[in-house]
Chains A and B, each alone.
Chain A
Amino acid sequence: MFADSFRTYLHFLEDENDCIRISEPTSWDLEASAVTTLANRTDGEVPIFESIKEDTIGAALVGDPYRGPQYRPWDHLARSFGLPAGLSGTAYYERVVERLRSPREPRVVDRGTAPCKEVVHTGTDVDLLSIPWPYIHQGDGGRYSNLHTVVAPDPETRWGHWSSHRMMIHDDALASLLFLAGEQAPNRYYYEYEPGDEPMPVAVVLGAEPAVQCSTEMWIPTGRSEAAFAGGLKDSPVNLVPCETSDLFVPATAELVVEGRVLPNERLDEGPFGDYFGYMNGPRRSMPVLAVDAITHRSEPRVPFCVEGTGVGYGQNSSSTLQTAAAGPDATLGLRAAGFDVELAVPWRFTSRTVWIIATDRPYPGYLHELANFIFTTWGMLHIDFFVFVDPDVDPLDPRAVLTAIALEADPDADFHQFGVERMPKVPLNIYQTPDEKGSADVGTSKAKTAKAYIDATADRPAADGSEDERLRTRAQELLVDAGLSPEPFDLLGEGGGESG
């Protein structure tokens, strides 16, 4: 059984006692995110704030609903895809890779049957401020939506392009979108729509079913449809429904949809924002304007949000979990499809969008350079500065094993490789850039270029045969569990075991 809506997903969490309803009146103004921060850092239940102060539409805020448990961040999402409970990291990756190999085209349903159309506001009825958007961190530039799917036109697929760009609310009908040049939807806006003085239709979808949110975080090749991969992920077609004011399609079971146009040559302030690096990120800069034409939603919509910045270090949040549970398996599949002999590609747990770990064979000299070059030039390279390569017998989901490989195998003299010194494009979000370097460039890139680098932390000798050791280790783990230790951290006690990740 899979979760075909956000609500079903929340019910799944509830069944496992992994979410709690908070009925006390809670303010969208920092309070909901403060409680969510506590939940995130203590690995607690997902909070559903049922009574939001000053709310007029019966909405509930949901704090970091996709966050998984510390031991196995993918657990909740695996359940929503109908996968077995308690999969080890490697087993989960392989199951998801298998699903993604069989994309399933979406199905279009009538407006009348689409839950996201239960309430429809268009024209002068539109009131963006009727939704209790959270003010997430003290110092943020405004109230944000930051856990959603932005649907944008795509000339190569009928279903549009799905991606994630945070949205800052300005008034009852205007918002600004963080559009960073170099990413697909912003590129279309900056280099096609805006030069033609044409508004770009978009839809911002909140509370979509988990498979949709996951495929939004994936790096789907141009010309392929995220919607089809979402269908593959849950092994069933995603239901789509036409928008009210544009030709775009949106997931029918979504909680809330904001339809609008990104206006050409218009800018509004955006930021600063406490971002996924774990630091408050500025400066405030000009970003493209979303003019809202329609808002449709389920009755009493559940509005998810992410407390960005809490998913670094030990903490998990929706953003870091989606990187590990969705972007990782997708990247693994992508590299294999490109002909690279990759075991796993996994975001580094402690800063999931800045550095990735790739366990791989090295069939010939120069292979790692080729692989790094391929990744840096074909994927979401703007955000990623480093790749660390480890041997295929090193579990990249086990950060201790990776740290050990870096410490013991990466020779400063021979194993650190830069792709040019400050010659590569850079998003303006990295905190190591000065405000001057971040700039306020019109197209949202940084004035500064950066270096991309990879670290070869593979060993220069054959891997040991660990078969005998594994048999002994399994027996030792059994003895320890018999003596009273919790079985959870042990990786060899059945398919469900495994601390890694």
Chain B
Amino acid sequence: MISFAQYLQGLAGNGDLVTLEEPIDVPLDVVAAEALRASGPALRYDRTDGVDLASGTLAGPDQMQRRKSRPWSRLALGLGLDPEASFVSVLETITSLGPSAGEAEPTYARQAASRTVDSVQKLHLPQGTDDVWPSLTLGVASVSTDEGSHWAPIHGSVIGDDKLRVRTPAALSSLLADDGTLSIALGVPAAAVAAAYLLAVTEGIEVPVQDCGVADDVPLVPTNGGLVPSATELIVETTVADRHPDFQSDRREAWEHGVSSTPLSLSVERVIATDDPVIPFSPVGRPLADDLQLTGLATAATLYRRVNDYWGISPVEWVLLPAEAELGICFVATDVLYAGFEWQLANLLFAFSSLFDTVVIVDEDVSPRELGRVLGDIWVKAHPSRDWIFSESSAPAAKRPRYRKDGTTGARLYVNAAWDPRWEDSYIAPRVSFEQSFPTSVRDAAREVWNDRHDAASVDRDRSGF
């Protein structure tokens, strides 16, 4: 398990974290968004007033250019994997944090947050461009029941010294008594926040963390609300002030596009922090934001497991909801087992997630590291009439896209950008690539010529892999 503080050190050690010092005369969500837009490093904001902050720690570069790292590289590091870990290993690691088939064996450790902070307002959490109040994002909420502790994502606003208005999954809210207690952990290990998102998108919040794989990985500590990671940077212990507060907010973390959430008004009872806390935030609503990336990966991990469990074998190589598409399209690479399989697969994905109305199916040998190839194959492998397949107009609108918000039904679409399984092998056009267009002797000679002038590593930078 890697604490959030160690994680930041790891990012800095990899040259993937840049520190900004005050004065910063622009809302931090704008700065964070610009760094993400430029596929830049994670940012740490050293502040003299309030806690230090970090952004982009769970996001990553987009895949619209060939790059050294991948959108999931940072999270992979946070999960204890190599930053170069395969996409599928990241998905499988996230899945393993959820409800566990075996007996989880939680460990408990001393709480890292030991000093009390007078007021939640003194944290000076970031205030977005359109925000009235400072906002709290990427929080892990913990609620205790007779079954154990339950985790879920939570975000909201600081509206006074001891008042928060938050949104959290309805499933977590329903576990709370009217005067119940809830703890919010900020700056938790990546595994903990990934687990909270996973439990939300899989509707598994009723499963206590003691029965989840995350308890095997992340040492825990009790709080007034429920168990939280012992290595949490900042803990806000609260009680429910109002189960039905009268406020509206357009701001939604990305998980809320697929998960029902409810508002809560909370009274802050205590704020405890480490000596020098750093807490992450997400520029919610802006492209490539951390919460978007995390929701996309948690959803992809869930779908990957579910579709592969369905057939008794595992034909699906990967599932990807890229943050670049703001989770409005699902890409899936698969072995097309038989004619019509792609229809089944697309409809399974529609059944398992309400986020998207479009599924794009690509061949099993296409790497998730090559979104550029996926975005090419859509148009060259899919026949404009035969392979763009629309359903009848009787489906409810997906949650993520912006169209059809009036409750009317419409069509869904899957694009079959994989080779037709009915074709003979001789019909399948070989790919034009360095590996396939040249025999070994020519490849070796070419590498020798090129590497004489270049760093050999750069030549194989785009080596594919799952």
Q: Chain A residues in contact with chain B, CB under 8 A? A: 20, 22, 24, 26, 30-31, 33-35, 37-39, 41-44, 70-71, 136-139, 274-275, 277-282, 307-310, 312-315, 348, 350-351, 354-355, 385-386, 399-400, 403-404, 406-416, 418, 421-422, 430-435, 450-453, 459-460, 469, 472-473, 475-477, 479-480, 483-485, 489-490, 499
Contacts and interface: CB of A to CB of B under 8 A. Distances in A.
Interface centre among B64, B129, B328, B434 (most CB of A within 10 A): B64
B454 interface: yes
A31 B20 contact: no
A407 B449 CA distance: 43
Contact of A42 (B62, B64, B379, B454): B454
B243 interface: no
A391 to B, nearest CB: 12
A490 B35 CA distance: 9
A403 B325 contact: yes
Given A138-B437, A408-B400, A280 B430 contact: yes
B387 A432 contact: yes
B429 to A, nearest CB: 4
Contacts of A139: 430, 437
Contacts of B390: 412-413, 416
B446 A35 contact: yes
Shortest 9 CB-CB contacts between residues of A and residues of B: A309-B432, A407-B328, A413-B410, A451-B385, A34-B446, A412-B413, A279-B429, A274-B432, A314-B372
Contact of B376 (A312, A412, A469): A312
Nearest to B329: A407
A41 B454 contact: no
A483 B437 CA distance: 44
B381 interface: yes
Describe A's contact surface by its main secondary structure: loop
Describe B's contact surface by its main secondary structure: loop
Given A399-B64, A475-B25, 14 more contacts: A20-B453, A35-B450, A38-B446, A38-B459, A277-B429, A400-B64, A404-B325, A404-B328, A408-B325, A413-B390, A432-B387, A434-B427, A476-B30, A483-B43
B115 interface: no
Given A313-B370, A415-B403, A418-B384, A407 B446 contact: no
A31 B442 contact: yes
Interface in B422-466: 423, 427, 429-434, 436-439, 442-443, 445-447, 449-450, 453-454, 458-459, 461-462
Interface centre among A20, A35, A459 (most CB of B within 10 A): A35
B333 interface: no
Interface in B19-65: 19-20, 24-27, 30-31, 33-35, 37-41, 43, 62, 64-65
A275 B437 CA distance: 12
Nearest to A423: B385
B324 A70 contact: no
A314 B462 contact: yes
Contacts of A26: 449
Nearest to B321: A407
Interface centre among A41, A307, A415 (most CB of B within 10 A): A41
Interface in B325-345: 325-329
Contacts of A39: 450
Contacts, number: 267
B67 to A, nearest CB: 9
A480 B66 CA distance: 22
B411 interface: yes
Contacts of B376: 278, 312-313, 350-351
Contacts of B328: 404, 407-408
B385 A421 contact: yes
A70 B66 contact: yes
A480 B38 contact: yes
Given A314-B462, A411-B404, A479-B24, A37 B413 contact: no
Interface residues of B, number: 86
12 contacts: A38-B446, A137-B437, A309-B437, A312-B373, A314-B372, A348-B379, A385-B384, A403-B375, A412-B411, A416-B413, A432-B383, A434-B423
A22 B449 contact: yes
A226 B199 CA distance: 62
B357 interface: yes
Nearest to B387: A432
Contacts of A314: 65-66, 370, 372-373, 462
B349 to A, nearest CB: 14
B401 A408 contact: yes
Contacts of A307: 432
Interface in B218-272: none
Contact of A409 (B322, B384, B391, B402): B402
A423 B382 CA distance: 17
Interface in B133-186: none
B28 to A, nearest CB: 9
Given A20-B453, A30-B439, A281 B357 contact: no
A38 B447 CA distance: 8
B149 to A, nearest CB: 36
A410 B415 CA distance: 14
B357 A450 contact: no
Contact of A407 (B358, B412, B459): B358
A404 B324 contact: yes
B317 to A, nearest CB: 17
B36 to A, nearest CB: 11
Contacts of A274: 432, 437
B393 interface: yes
Given A400-B324, A460-B403, A479 B380 contact: no
A484 B18 contact: yes
Contact of A422 (B30, B385, B446): B385
A35 B436 CA distance: 14
B434 A34 contact: yes
A490 B384 contact: no
A413 B404 contact: yes
B438 A34 contact: yes
Contact of A485 (B33, B38, B329): B38
Nearest to B380: A277
A210 to B, nearest CB: 25
A38 B381 contact: no
A431 B429 contact: yes
A35 B449 contact: yes
Contact of A483 (B18, B358, B380, B431): B18
A399 B376 CA distance: 12
Nearest to B357: A412
A432 B416 CA distance: 11
Nearest to B430: A280
Interface in B268-314: 287
